[in-house]
């Protein structure tokens, strides 16, 4: 008979092995209930599927399963109605809390059979995958929404011509739509990767036990089918050890936010007074507490800043996982909180980006004012190329024209025909037709270019990429 000093630790699923009390700070340090309670519905769904499979193993009778299912649905309703009462110290995680409450609802004799052959190791991995699978569906919806806005704006704003930049220096004229579609191509790749990621996440670890597998010949395929998984993690050690699916999610999110940050940076620049290519809606701007005239692009600055937060999630988890031995170690608990924040941050960012882009105003007059004739220097070189002059020679000749315009302190298109012929006699009077920004963009008609036809082709390609996942 156990003495008072040798009694199990009260309320702990693992308490039979321990007789000493736990440091209260350790209890708090160890528990995860205050963040993993978000998995309450996934945990209950997994428990019902697991219990159903244990009818065939003989662990549960039909009546016992019915009672477990009934009790778990009561517990689920309490969570949904915000009436579930967490017991600090006793409910160290969502699994413990749900099982404790189930015992109170239907009695411990039946409830105590639920966990047979199962471990919190495969249970938490299942909960995380179920939750993340649902969240990735939402992220896909948000990303598709952003891409639809990009495609729509690119089509509606196709007439607007602006400076294109390299090294943040004016380079050649491009269509505003071409700029939009650059990021559309980046985000479309992110969408493709997300769809691959969803398949990677949607594998079932339930039935792997603590690490070595289930000793009661449970039908893992039936459980996976009930929970909507595409298949199984075939190695039980991998089933409980794997957090690569979280790391891969964070790597995907970090890559997306890298693109998002560059997109935001461009728009921050374009919205500044020095450029004034775009104007943000009031809904996505803030003012200054001191300077009444200010309209700050805080939405975009936060998107740029949040990218660092997302990179941190990824790097932090990889550092936590990289050195731990197989299979399950408590370090893996550190995958949950950053995963929750990562998914929320990425989801919020996608929705803000969509709002920003759908409401901003294009100030195309300022885009046109920013265009300068020297940006057509390559077009001038191409003019002579079409007359059979080697490009390396025409590049040099065009550079001389640029230099002459600077020397004469006037734009290139205001040089006289005689001045141009003074540089090279092969210029003819129709050379002045080169200094036309619309003509310049229309000349770039090869696939991927900035002509209207090429841009429309890119828009259709983006629409096709969106439809590919439907």
CB within 8 Å of 456: residues ≥ 6 apart: 155, 158
Of 191, 183, 149, the closest CA to residue 346 belongs to: 191
Selecting among 6, 63, 167, 289, the annotated active-site residue is 167
**What is the rounded CA–CA span in Å between residue 135 and residue 198?**
10
**What is the rounded CA–CA span in Å between residue 242 and residue 328?**
8
Tokens of 219: 């039908």
Q: 328 with 121: CB under 8 angstroms? A: yes
Q: What angle do CA 451, 454, 460 make, to 5 degrees?
A: 140
**What is the rounded CA–CA span in Å between residue 183 and residue 270?**
15
**What is the rounded CA–CA span in Å between residue 163 and residue 369?**
10
Q: 117 with 218: CB under 8 angstroms? A: yes
**Helices 244-271 and 336-359, packing angle to 10 deg:** 30
CB within 8 Å of 330: residues ≥ 6 apart: 30
Selecting among 272, 288, 416, 453, the annotated active-site residue is 288
DSSP conformation letters of 183-216: HHHHHHHHHHHHHHHHHHH-EE-TT-TTTT--TT
Query: E strand or H helix at 171, and its extent?
Result: strand 169-175
3-state secondary structure of 335: helix
Q: How far is CA 209 from the centre of its chain?
A: 32
**What is the rounded CA–CA span in Å between residue 291 and residue 315?**
39
- Verify whether residue 288 is a known catalytic residue: yes
Phi, psi (5° rounding) for residue 78?
-65, -40
Q: 147 with 212: CB under 8 angstroms? A: no
Residue 327 has what DSSP assignment?
A: S
Tokens of 150: 């990009």
- Verify whether residue 261 is a known catalytic residue: no
Give pairs for 279-283: CB < 8 Å, separation 24+.
Answer: 279/360, 279/361, 279/363, 280/356, 280/359, 280/360, 281/356, 281/359, 281/360, 281/361, 283/355, 283/359
Cα radius of gyration (the chain): 31
Q: Known catalytic residues?
A: 167, 288
């Amino acid at each position: 008979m156990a003495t008072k000093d040798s009694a199990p630790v009260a309320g702990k699923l693992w308490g039979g092995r321990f007789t000493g009390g736990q440091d209260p700070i350790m209890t708090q340090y160890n528990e995860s209930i205050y963040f993993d309670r978000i998995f309450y519905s996934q945990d209950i769904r997994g428990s019902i599927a697991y219990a159903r499979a244990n009818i065939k193993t003989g662990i549960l009778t039909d009546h016992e399963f019915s009672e477990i299912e009934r009790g778990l649905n009561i517990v689920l309703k309490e969570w949904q109605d915000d009436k579930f009462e967490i017991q600090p110290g006793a409910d160290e995680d969502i699994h413990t809390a749900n099982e404790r409450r189930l015992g109170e609802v239907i009695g411990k004799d039946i409830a105590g059979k639920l966990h047979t052959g199962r471990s919190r190791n495969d249970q938490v991995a299942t909960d995380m995958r179920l939750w993340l699978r649902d969240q990735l569906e939402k992220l896909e919806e948000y990303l598709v929404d952003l891409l639809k806005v990009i495609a729509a704006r690119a089509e509606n704003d196709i007439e607007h011509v602006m400076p294109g930049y390299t090294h943040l220096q004016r380079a050649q004229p491009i269509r505003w739509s071409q700029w939009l579609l650059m990021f559309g191509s980046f985000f479309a790749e992110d969408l493709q990767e997300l769809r691959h990621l969803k398949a990677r996440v949607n594998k079932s670890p339930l039935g792997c036990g603590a690490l070595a597998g289930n000793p009661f010949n449970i039908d893992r395929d039936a459980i996976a089918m009930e929970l909507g998984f595409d298949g199984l993690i075939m190695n039980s050690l991998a089933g409980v050890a794997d957090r690569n699916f979280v790391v891969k999610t964070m790597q995907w999110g970090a890559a997306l936010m890298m693109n998002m940050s560059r997109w935001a940076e461009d728009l921050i620049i374009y919205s500044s007074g020095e450029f004034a290519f775009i104007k943000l809606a009031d809904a996505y701007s803030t003012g200054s507490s001191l300077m009444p005239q200010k309209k700050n692009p805080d939405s975009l600055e936060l998107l740029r800043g949040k990218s660092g937060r997302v990179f941190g999630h990824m790097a932090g988890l990889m550092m936590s996982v990289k050195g731990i031995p197989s299979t399950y170690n408590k370090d893996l608990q550190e995958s949950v909180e950053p995963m929750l924040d990562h998914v929320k941050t990425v989801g919020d960012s996608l929705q803000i980006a969509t709002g920003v882009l759908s409401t901003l105003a294009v100030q195309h007059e300022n885009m046109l004012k920013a265009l300068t004739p020297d940006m057509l220097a390559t077009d001038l070189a191409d003019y002579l190329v079409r007359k059979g002059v080697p490009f390396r020679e025409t590049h040099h000749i065009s550079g001389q024209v640029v230099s002459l315009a600077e020397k004469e302190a006037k734009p290139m298109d205001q040089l006289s025909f005689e001045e141009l012929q003074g540089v090279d006699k092969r210029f003819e009077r129709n050379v002045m037709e080169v200094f036309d920004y619309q003509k310049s963009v229309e000349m770039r008609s090869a696939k991927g270019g900035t002509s209207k036809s090429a841009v429309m082709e890119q828009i259709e390609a983006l629409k096709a990429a969106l439809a590919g996942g439907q």
